Amino acid sequence: MLKKIYFVTGNDYKFQIAKKAFIGSDIILIQKRLDTPEIQSDDLKKIASFSIKWASNLLKKSIFLSDAGCYIEALNGFPGPFIKYINKYLTAKELLKLMAGKKNRNVIFKDCLAYCEPGKKPVLFLSSIGGKISAKPGKSGQTSINEIFIPKGFNRTESEISRDQMVLFWKNNNYNYKKLIQFLKK
């Protein structure tokens, strides 16, 4: 019997990645657009836990969501889980000004996938993917972070890589979806 699960996200890119990851799993993935409250914390797990509990209790369904953080080593982990605000208020050029004179261009993207059933404790899956911060912005039109992030294994920014390639990259390198699928099949 096929199982249905709801992915709470308004981000079509995230949903595309998840759909790709769930192919062949016998689990039907349904996108649920819902703005969830995010507590102000630098702890990705706490943010994801709060949001998923709130959404699960509101919707009365088994759901999951993804919360991400971008941790730039030379900036002591900034912006961390505050990517949404950085993308909203800073351009790629402004972000790169913060990197002026910095030799260390390493960055870690962390993704916290949170699953919850109504009235139960959330189950969290955490994964990390490395990369570099570019010296200059890539193609504009996406997010500020995408315009300066060079994923591991590439020599250009995420904004300069095709959407299909990036969906495949995130699907293959974000092990959270595999962990969630295994958990759901238990």
Tell me the longest C-alpha to C-alpha distance in the chain.
Answer: 57
Residues forming the active site:
67
Helix-then-strand count for the chain, H and E: 6, 7
State both tokens at 53. 């509990």
Q: Helices 12-22 and 176-184 meet at what angle, rounded to 10?
A: 60
Q: Are 169 and 151 in contact (CB under 8 A)?
A: yes
Q: Rounded CA gap, 144 and 87, in Å?
A: 5
Q: What angle do CA 42, 47, 48 make, to 5 degrees?
A: 135
The DSSP code sequence of 14-58 is HHHHHHHHHTTTTEEEEEE--PPP----S-HHHHHHHHHHHHHHH
DSSP class of 177: H
